[in-house]
Chains A and B, each alone.
Chain A
Amino acid sequence: MDTTGSFLMPPAQSTYAGDVDALFNFILIAGLIIFVIVIATTVFFSMKYRRKGMATKTSGTDHNLGLEILWTAIPTALIVIVFIWTFRSYIKMSVVPGDAIEIKVTAQKWFWTFDYAEGANSVNELVIPVNQPIKLLMSSQDVIHSFFIPNFRAKMDVLPNRYSITWFEATSTGTYDLFCTEYCGKGHSEMLGSVRVVSEEEYKKWIDEGSDPGKGLTLEEFGRKLYVKKACNTCHTTDGSKGVGPTFKGVFGREEIMEDGTPITVEENYIRESILEPKAHIVAGFQPVMPTYQGLLKDREIDAIIAYLKTMKAE
C-alpha cells in the first residue's frame, strides 16, 4: 500500500506525514468495513423481517454470548492497534531532532513573523531548506493562534503566555499553504502565509540577502516590497478601497480626522509614529488594531515605506 498521501489528504511533504496518512488510511478502511456491515445488516433485516398486517408475538431472544463477546472484542482489538500506532507516530512528531534549525515564530493579529538566528526575518513567508529538520519556537503577541501546514500534517497552537514548539522536515521543494487554525477575530481567515521549501544553496543565499534585504533596490521599490513582505497589505489597500485600516492611496499629505476630532496632515513624522506607536493617534472610523512594528522594522525600512507611500498619489 502506498502510504504517502491519501486520496482525501493533500500531498504529504514532510518526513512524518506518511505515518499519519498510513494510520488515517487504516482507520478509514477498518471504519468503512464496520460501517458497511452494520448498515447492510440493518437494511437486510428491514426488508427480510418486514411486518405484514398487525404485529403478533415475536421471538424472545435477547442475548447471545458468543456474538456479544465478538462484537466487543473486535472493536477493542482494533482500537488497541490504532492506539499503539498513534502512540508511535505521535512520539515521532513530538521529539525534535537535536540538529534542527531553530526559527522563532511570532503570531499576532493577523500575520506571522519569522526570525532567523542569522538576523534575517520575514513576514508571512517561511523559507526553509529541504531535507533538514526545522524547529519552530512560537509565541503570540495577543490572542491564541494556531500554526498549520496541511502538507506537513503539522499543527500547533501559538500562545501568548508561553512558548510552544513544533518541528518538521520537508521532503521536497515547493511552496505550501500556511493557515491560522485558531479563531482569532476579524482577520482570522486572512491570516495566511506560505512555506517556501528551497534547496540548501538557495536557503543560504536567502539568509544572506535577508540580513540586508534592500540591496540593489531603490528606496521606493524597497518600500513596495516591504508593503507586502511586512503584511501592511492585509489591512491597507492601494486602490482606494477601505480595509481594516485607511487606504494608502493618496495617503501622503491627506488630512485625517482623529478619533478625538483633531485633524492631522499625514507627513513623515506622523507615518513614522503610526508605524512604531500606532495607538498614539487613531484615525476616526477605525479600530485601534494596528500592531506596533517596533523592533520589526529598521530605520532604513521605515524610510523606504515613507518613500513608497509618497508615490501613491490620489487621482
Chain B
Amino acid sequence: MSTATATNYLNEAKGWKSWLLTQDHKRIGIMYLAGIFFFFLVGGLLALIIRWELFTPAKDIMEADTYNRFFTLHGAIMIFLFIIPSIPAALGNFVLPLMLGAKDVAFPRLNLASWYLYVIGALFALYSIISGAADTGWTFYTPYSTSTSGSVVAIAVGVFILGFSSIFTGLNFIATIHKLRAPGMTWFKMPLFVWGLYATAIIQVLATPVLGITVVLLILERMVHIGIFDPAMGGDPVLFQHFFWFYSHPAVYIMILPGMGIISEVIATFSHKRIFGYKAIAYSSLGIAFMSFLVWGHHMFVSGQSELASLIFSFLTFFVGIPSGIKVFNWVATMYKGQISLKVPMLYAISFLILFSIGGLTGIFLGAVSVDVHLHDTYFIVAHFHYTMMGGTVIAFLAGLHFWWPKLWGRIYNETWAVVSCLMIFIGFNVTFLSQFIMGAQGMPRRYYTYPEEFQRLHGFSSVGSLILGAGFLIMTIYLLHSIFRGKKVGRNPWQSLTMEWEAESPPITHNFDKDMVLEHGPYDYDIVDAKYTEEGTL
C-alpha cells in the first residue's frame, strides 16, 4: 500500500507533454480549471475597471468606445470562457467518473479535444481584443453588430468554436453517465450532481448548435451581406434576438443546473443527512431543462413581438420558476435534524441559498410582463442576473471547489482565511448588486457610460462593493495556491461523505480506484451506513 499512496495522477507522469497530451479526466479537469481561473481573473479585472469608471457620473478614466468594449468583453468572457465551462468542464470532468466509480469518461480523447477547442476559441477571443475588440455587448444584437467597426467576426468565430467544445463535453458526459456507472448504481442511486450534469449535457447538446448557426449567420451577414438580419436588405433584426435567446435562455440553465447539483451534494454531506426529496430534485432538473426551451421570449417583451406571444412567454416563465423554488425548499428541509457542520463549502452553500433566492424571486418581477416593461434593460436586470449567475453559479462553483479541493490535491486550504474570504465575497457581492436593484427600479438604464447625477450615490456604493469583492477573491487566490504546495495533508474522506469519489485516495491514483467499484450503499444513506473515514486527516 505504501507505493499506492506515493504515486497519484499528479506525479505519476512528469513534464509538460504529460499534461498537454493527457487523456486522464482529472488532468484535463485541472487544465480546464487553469483556463477558467485565468479568464475569471481577466473578466473580474474588467469588471473592476468598469466599476471604477462608473464611480462618478461623468467620464473618469476612459473613452466611451473603450468602455463599450470593456463591458462587452467582461460579459463575453465571463459567460463563454468562465461560467459555462466552470462547473461541468472543470469540476465535472474531475469528479464525474469518480462519482460513478469509473476509471475515466467514456471518450477520453474527445475530452482532450474539447479542451483544445476551448483553448482555440479562447485564442480567437483574445485575438479579437488586440484587433480592436467588439463593442456590441455579449448579446451581439443586430443591426448594431453588423454595422459597427468593432472586431465582431473574430469573437464570433471564438464563440462558435467554444460552442463545439461545450457540445463535446455534453456528449461525453451523456455517454459516461449511461454506460460507466458502477454495478449497482441504478439511475436513482446516482448522486444529484450527476443528475445536474446529465440535464445540463442534454441542453448543451440540443441548444448549443442553435448558437453556432446564429453566429455563423451573423458572420455571413457581416462579411458577405446575406441580408437575413439587415433591414436594408429586407432582413429582420429581431429574428436575431429570437435565435440568440433560443440558445441563451437554455444556456442560463447550462450555467445553473450543475451549480444546483453541487449544492445538493454539499448540503447532504455537511448536514450528514439523507437528501430531502431526491426524486423531486432529480426530476425537476429534467423538467427545468425541458421548460428552458420554451421561455426565450421573456427577453423580448419590449422588442415589438406580439402581445399574445409576450403573455404566453410570461406564463411559461413563471412555471419554470416553480421547480427551482421546490429545490430550495428541499435543500432547507434536508438540514432538518441533520448534524450540520459549518465548514467552508457549507458556508458557500448557505450563501448560495440566500443569493440564489434573491436572484430567483427578483425573476418574478421580470417574468410579470407589465412590470418588466419598466425594468427591462435597466440595472434591475443587471442585478438580477448577477444574483443568479454569480450569486448562484459562481458561489456554487466555489462551494464545489472548496468541497473537492482536498480530493484534487490531497491537501486542504487554511480554514480561517477561507472563512474570511467567503464572508468578504458575500458582503462585497451584496453591496455591489443590491444597490443595482434600487437604481434599476428607479430607471437607471444599463450599458451607460455616463449617467444622470441622481444615481451617483448608488453607483458609488456599488463600486465600493466591487472592491470588497475583489479583495475577497485576492485572498482566495493566495490561500488556494498556498495550499497546493503547503496545505495540510488529508485522507480519503475528510468530510465523512458517502458518495463514491471519497473512496478514492486523495489525490486519486491515475486509474482512480485501487479496486473495481461496486455500489455498496446509496449516496445519501446517512441513516443506514456509518461513513468511512480515515482517522488521520479527517477534518
Interface residues of A (CB under 8 A from B): 6, 8-10, 16, 19-20, 23-24, 27-28, 31, 34-35, 38-39, 41-43, 45-46, 49-52, 54-64, 67-68, 71-72, 75-76, 79, 82-83, 85-87, 89-94, 142-144, 146, 148, 150-151, 153-157, 159-162, 164, 177, 179-190, 192, 287
- Contact (Cβ within 8 A) A161 B231: yes
Task: Pick the 7 closest A-B CB pairs, nearest first.
Answer: A150-B443, A60-B527, A161-B231, A189-B448, A86-B368, A89-B370, A31-B361
Given A75-B322, A79-B321, A89-B370, A61:B274 Cβ within 8 A:
yes
- Contact (Cβ within 8 A) A58 B526: yes
Cα A6 to Cα B130 with chains together (Å): 46
Cα A35 to Cα B360 with chains together (Å): 10
Q: Is the interface of A mostly helix, strand, loop or mixed?
A: mixed
- Contact (Cβ within 8 A) B365 A27: yes
- Contact (Cβ within 8 A) B451 A20: no
- Contact (Cβ within 8 A) A59 B378: no
- Contact (Cβ within 8 A) B357 A85: no
- Contact (Cβ within 8 A) B443 A177: yes
Query: Could you list 15 A-B pairs, sorted by A, with CB under 8 Å?
Result: A9-B441, A49-B337, A50-B340, A51-B272, A55-B526, A58-B338, A61-B337, A72-B326, A86-B314, A150-B443, A159-B231, A161-B237, A179-B445, A183-B136, A183-B447
B342 nearest CB across to chain A (Å): 6
Given A38-B332, A49-B335, A8:B438 Cβ within 8 A:
yes
Task: Report B-chain residues with C-beta under 8 Å of the C-beta of A188.
Answer: 68, 447-449
Known pairs A59-B274, A90-B369, A148-B445 / 20 extra A-B pairs, C-beta < 8 Å: A10-B442, A23-B371, A39-B354, A42-B335, A46-B350, A54-B538, A58-B337, A60-B527, A62-B278, A72-B322, A83-B368, A86-B314, A142-B143, A144-B144, A155-B373, A156-B304, A161-B235, A183-B447, A185-B144, A186-B68
Any A CB within 8 A of the CB of B427: no
Task: Report A-chain residues with C-beta under 8 Å of the C-beta of B272.
Answer: 51, 55, 58
Task: Report A-chain residues with C-beta under 8 Å of the C-beta of B120.
Answer: none
Query: Which B residues from 144 to 158 make CB contacts under 8 A with A?
Result: 144, 147-149
Task: Report A-chain residues with C-beta under 8 Å of the C-beta of B378.
Answer: 181
B392 nearest CB across to chain A (Å): 15
Cα A218 to Cα B365 with chains together (Å): 53
Cα A54 to Cα B311 with chains together (Å): 53
- Contact (Cβ within 8 A) B443 A156: no
Task: Report A-chain residues with C-beta under 8 Å of the C-beta of B365.
Answer: 24, 27-28
Task: Report B-chain residues with C-beta under 8 Å of the C-beta of A94.
Answer: 307
Cα A91 to Cα B303 with chains together (Å): 16
Cα A150 to Cα B454 with chains together (Å): 13
Residue of A nearest to B276 (CB): A62
B387 nearest CB across to chain A (Å): 12
B236 nearest CB across to chain A (Å): 6
Any A CB within 8 A of the CB of B273: yes
Any A CB within 8 A of the CB of B528: yes
- Contact (Cβ within 8 A) B273 A58: yes
- Contact (Cβ within 8 A) B141 A23: no
Given A58-B274, A183-B137, A20:B338 Cβ within 8 A:
no
B341 nearest CB across to chain A (Å): 4
Q: What 0/1 pattern do residues 429 to 456 of B give for CB contact below 8 A with A? A: 0000000011001110111111110000
Task: Report A-chain residues with C-beta under 8 Å of the C-beta of B371.
Answer: 20, 23-24, 27, 86
Residue of B nearest to A47 (CB): B340
Residue of A nearest to B150 (CB): A185
Task: Report B-chain residues with C-beta under 8 Å of the C-beta of A19.
Answer: 370
Any A CB within 8 A of the CB of B512: no
Any A CB within 8 A of the CB of B319: yes
- In the complex, which of the residues A23, A35, A150 contacts B442, with contact meaning CB atoms closer than 8 Å? A150
A46 nearest CB across to chain B (Å): 5
- In the complex, which of the residues A57, A89, A142, A144 contacts B526, with contact meaning CB atoms closer than 8 Å? A57
Query: Which B residues from 477 to 514 make CB contacts under 8 A with A?
Result: 496
- Contact (Cβ within 8 A) A8 B141: no
Cα A104 to Cα B272 with chains together (Å): 65
- In the complex, which of the residues A24, A38, A151, A161 contacts B357, with contact meaning CB atoms closer than 8 Å? A38
A149 nearest CB across to chain B (Å): 9
- In the complex, which of the residues A46, A59, A143 contacts B144, with contact meaning CB atoms closer than 8 Å? A143
B147, B307, B374: residue with the most chain A Cβ atoms closer than 10 Å: B374
- Contact (Cβ within 8 A) B274 A160: no
Any A CB within 8 A of the CB of B254: no
